Structure 1
């Protein structure tokens, strides 16, 4: 039997509550890909506080944009359905000169213990200060994957 992540598993970071949805943001996992800002600029407003204003769009639209976050810095739980379900099958995509992007029913071993998740960007350069997650250090140190 497959065990899916629960609200407790995904509820890492600060919660932003709006009608129909709660969005969770874990700043330590954000590498500023900005899919959220491009996808719903009326909701994801980095120049304002609070920067996530989930009530500015429908819950399903917010959930759809959160699912585009490759790092897992953003998660959601819909009031009607609970936490986001993992993608099937699980995929692993190496980004050129960047992290491994995972999507699926994930069980990650971290320094803090086992973490269940649905999306993550994992460090490949070995220099992240937030291992196993990518924190963007690869760009600062000039790490190259040798792909391409």
Structure 2
């Protein structure tokens, strides 16, 4: 079950995220604690707001939180560690990343995933939002990767 999270760096107050506008559940926290912790050592260096994206039934489930319903499991990539969001959901994910960038005093956000079974764990820096979208649409994003997205 994948963890999918977006972090708005140096954000001091909650992001205005109308939950009924999004086709998945969003939990927002000031404690930058990832649900699975693969990148916790990196997150501990920052302050901000973290958005945990999850299946709609996650609304009342705590502490468990995962976003398997957001993923296009039919997507076949050249690299088995790559994934795409369901097409009808990616626009909403894109909107949240953009909102996180605009809400950051550094105009920086992190997008990260953590899934069991994927071998890689890496941090990719200096992605523009356009580069991130192109990678998603063309080859897919890589599981167990933290993307640093800058504006």
- When normalised by structure 1's length, the TM-score is 0.28
Largest Rg, 1 or 2: 1
- When normalised by structure 2's length, the TM-score is 0.28
* Larger proportion of helix: 2
Specify which structure has the bigger relative contact order, considering alpha-carbon pairs within 8 angstroms and separated by 6 or more residues.
2
